[in-house]
Structure 1
Amino acid sequence: MFFPLTHDDPEQLGTYRLVARLGSGGMGTVYLGQSPSGRIAALKTMHARTAADPAFRARFRLETDASRVIGGHHGARVFDADPIAEIPWLATEYVIGPPLDEAVQSGGPLPETAVRALGASLCAALAQLHGSDVVHRDLKPSNIMITADGPKVIDFGIARAIGDERLTRTGTEAGTPAFMSPEQAMGQDHSPAGDVFALAGVLVYAVAGRGPFGAGQAADLLWVRYAEPDLTGVPASLVPVLRRCFEKVPERRPTTAQLGSELACADGGFSAHLPEPVLAEIARRATAVWQVEPCRLPPPAGSVLSETVPDSARPGMSRRTLLTVAGGSASSIAASGAGAWAWLGRRGGAAEPTGSTGSQQPKWDLIWQVTASYEDPRVPPAPLLLDQLIVVGAYGLQGLNPKTGKARWPEYPEVYFAHLTATNSRQIYTINHSSEEKDPLTVSRVDLTTGAVGDPFIELKDFRVALYGTQLLYATDDTLYAVGGRGPHPASSVETDHFFKEQSWSLLGLDIHSGSKLWEVPLPPRPDGSTRMHFLSARVSGDHLVLVQQSAKGETQLVVLNRHTGAVLWQRKFDSGQPDASRAHLAVDDTHVYPSAGRLLALALSDGTVSWRYDQSPAGAAYSPPTVKDGLVYAVEEGGGVVASTPEAASCGGPRTSAAPHRRISTHHLSSASSTCTASRRPVSSPPTSEGAPLPASSRPPRPSTSLMSPPAGSSPWARATSPATPSSEFTEAAQA
């Protein structure tokens, strides 16, 4: 059923133009929308009054995450979402088919074969949820859509992570009385066994035309808790199967796998078991959705209310990313550089395309492209690259064939979070995520063929894996580098996607072979509510661990440690004005670090001094994050295309340029501390003057001390690095800000 838009409904959500209303409830409204390409979607959003409540916002974000977990086979595929907008919204596929309750009301109870097929499919859907530590908590006929391909589970508005009771304690509803488990009715923990109880109630409704515990009145909760279900009208062959699901003790109920095997029916697609009236309704809906004409009701007489528009056009980087892999040599570099420039953006505004204004567009020689989940990543994402595998995504990782882009892992691999996953190019490792507050931090290997997570081989009992700031930063052949935290989630908190001041954090070196902790370096504490992770990225070169560290306020610094001992060798603050996604990306070779500082420069890996920087940029030019290949440093120059530079080629002559349509690959002159071009040298602590001349030697900083302090006030963002005679074991206090 489609309803007209009201006068104060938004014109669009994200890129989706709203066409009609599908329904409205206590939390929000569901719309029918259409993308610029013509794709139809269902868009769910929150009422303004509920969007102002942190508890309801947390529920909406959990619903978004659960919808992604269940995926498009057992649920409505998620197209897009913005759970942190002023008015949060979620765009999913528009499911063609009626809800189960409407199908039964209009066409009567389903035959046993259809109910068995329905139950087996729903068992698989719940297994997918439970395998990701999520329980639905409100499985009922109206939340199950009947399609020709099979049932789809929707509406995860009160879903939560297993063991997490915080949202229930806020006073929100716990489910629907007619389909609640006894433990849920008593306010106790709702485990996967509670979803099995609700599923049995759904199947009774489907085959008998009514629920097993009344019509859903509050008084029916006593029936759920103390009495046996009414199985009148249930086929005799299904009675013993479903009765076991209604056990009052959760541990006595079958698992989803056991129940699914008992419900399995004869071969044949799901639609083969559906009665004609249901198939006719599916066909009618498939046609009707394309015949909806947009209609908006006028405002009431005398109304002065302004239109409610969600926050769908914030400046800055989009949270949606299309991963693109290019082939060839020069064209591959150009494509990767252009992608880096898209991340770079403009200071103080949204990213804008640059380059030629001619009609001919550059050809990037794309081999393949896939859509990956990069919404609101905790750290700037980067794919994991192995010999025969590339892993992409920030959540719900995808294992792909790097040559063809075809999936090598199943649709729902066990490894899920990118910020908990790292590779040494031969093996993938992951920190085993858990929502249980007391579970220790453990690390497992990931099967490269299936994406399955193996048994833990590292266990750190004094670190809590459920804490928000946990990270797996980097992997070498012998060592993993991670961030671990100690301390609890405060019991009174509803939203846990942030740091708490009671927690303490450390950078860890972990031995892959023995499973032991090699070293631990304390990290600055985070204030309550901070959401910035301690590190944006990590690299290893020789004996050096190179980190981009960020403070709670978003200030960044480059930190280099001895990777074997954890001793801090040097650190530099840098505030280039670029977004996190740009500052996180740096390049490292055997002798230098090439940071994303908005300009081209190289720092000595040994002590952080500036080895060279390119001083002949056009006025105001900015550069993308660099990359290093075969001795050349590549970057994208704003308005100039791709540039390639090499310190070995530094001379007092001008740049050597090879022009290409709409892009430029050049070898530039570099001012080098080791070259003979002394006229272009300047003290490493001094910012350039407007004429590009060096500042007086008196402006150089004092010699390094044994304490790791932030650069003096007013110094260059690349002030002289501290290089203590005795390496420190702690990070500077500047990172606590």
Structure 2
Amino acid sequence: MLFPLVHDDPHALGGHRLVARLGSGGMGTVYLARSAAGRTVALKTMHAHIATDPAVRTRFRLEVDAARVMGPVHGARVFDADPLAETPWLATEYVLGPSLDEAVSVAGPLPEPAVRALGTALCAALAQLHASDVVHRDLKPSNIMITAEGPKIIDFGIARALGDDRLTRTGTAAGTPAFMSPEQATGLEHTPAGDVFALAGVLTYAATGHGPFGSGSHADLMYRVRYADPDLTGVPPALLPVLAHCLAKDPADRPTTDALAARLRTGEGGFADRLPEALLMEIARRVGGVWSDAPHRLPAPPGHGLAATLPSGSQPPSPSPSVLSRRRLLALGGGSVLGAAAVGAGTWAWLGHKDTDDPKPHATTSKGPAWDLLWQVQENSISDPLIPPAPLVLDGLLLVGENGMQGLDPATGAVKWPDPEVWFMRRAASDGKQLYAADYTTVESDPLRVSVIDPATGRLREPFSELKDLRAILFGTQLLCATADAVYLVGGRGTHTGTSFGKDQTWFLLGIDVRSGNKLWEVPLPARPDKSERLHFLSARAVGKHLVLVQQSAEGEPRLVVHDALTGRALWNKPLDGKQSALSRARVAVDDRHVYPAAGELTALGLADGKPAWRFQGQAPTARFGPPAVKDGVVYAVEENRGMVALDASNGTLRWAEKSRAVPFEDLDTPPAVGVGHVYAYSTAASGLMAADIRTGAVTRPFKAAKARYFAHPSAGRLIALGDEYTAAYPLS
């Protein structure tokens, strides 16, 4: 949840000492900060380059006013603000909980009782806003925070008083197309009925995981909002007429917030009692994360003094979850730092430490890459057959190794533990917080077990799942990936045959519940020829309710296959054609809407159905691309004989491109590494690493470095290189 401050962030603002970044966007940056009295706040600021615009400053002042109107029950309490300062700022309580879109991503669509409780609370929030003649105008899942004590509406950046059109040009739509009302989409007056329309869209998303008008370009969405019937597929039957009523095209046909609340309200009990366990665990994790050390300020990027900015919505590795009961969550206040602050200022001592220099690098003298090398460790290479792709990156831990897994300190390279028990990393996986391992024994009759790895020692804890009908010793067993709810693996039955498959073996794709250890589902896999060594899967990612896999045929050809992560049902599959190696083609990128295959061309496929969403045409009709990377709504890839390009993930529009440089086909094997302020790609022609500004694409001089696979470790401020004979680290900017 906390990102390091960059080198040119101020140390203090408005009497608050800045501790860490919470996020950044086009308008400004939000910091975690501490007042002189010890109060912890979220401090929202405006970027200097737009603070000179009087209209933008007026919007900021109106946002402060609207946030005060909302108040602390349904929003974040406003402590102080100065819209007239050189850098305008707003200090509010720090809300502890995921946004609604994050909550659905973590826990899946909410059950009907939770949707009703959410809707009832949001009706009360909007009624309070409307009673002061203010409309929100941008109600959407990312602007609603879910806490144990109830939802809170945030971000009043385009809220305004009813009838006040001074900041809206006639015929211009302001808001988020997927959740705006028809009248808003045509630039007409947005009344409280428009907020009700948006609320129905939010509740549809909460109940189904999709908005009522789908996704796509702004123009397509605004057309559907105005003319198309809403897609309410998956909405619980009892809620269908309620939401359909709210989504009427004519504002006069929609219910008021009071009438809607009456139709949604049901039963007794608190808000937390209606939330699914997985969501409560996520709230608990964020509450527990408050006690983690704040990250160190990042140094200035090497070679220049440009500011490194954190892209909006980034998610660094987070602390291990703190398991709290519903009662304990509510006792802590559940929703904000304020709720827990009653235990005294000493609780927040973790916020008071001063910035320190990075730890002294772990010294080595053996061969390896040059440039600003911070550390390197020899004999820990990751060979291509290792699946899933390594390294495993966690907060404060980097896992590397082929014949034995090592835990390294990503900041210094120091060995934390040398793998006393976990053998073959292909049998380990992580959800970014927890480490899992599939047991491997030398006894052929032993069942397959799945355990948690102690991150402090590297040792296996007691197995939480024992699959008695599957064998632990079989070659080809793979622990593919993990989420907070499940681990996904390949398990088999039959006789051990060494480092190959046997003709009498049968194989399955499995989902295992991480809490109960029970098998969620089992899907048969194609038989492998006798003595074949081709693994079933080359990569795997679980995103929301989708399991994205690159499956390898017996002949070695990869296919992109997507399963329903909850049931195991295959949803769609497509061949991954191309001239790159199968392992290069297996390096697909995934976000919550699309899969971006690595198959020579740069395209986006719908995550749910595999239908093409867009295809990017390069400089030449036959241009080839390396495997892509996606972060914060931007797709990055390397184009042959052009360099790095950045595209809008929603529609494939080009944001920036390098000035053309020689990019041979051999440089199209690996995806770019996306850091905090730069994107990195290796250049054979320059014998170094190209670093492009993440916002503009401006490229610095090539940094001297060896050809390797590069991975960003944001929380440690390190760019990790995996070479043939070493693991190394460079500064990350």
Q: Confirm or deny a common fold (TM above 0.5).
A: no
* TM-score calculated relative to the size of structure 1: 0.41
Larger radius of gyration: 1
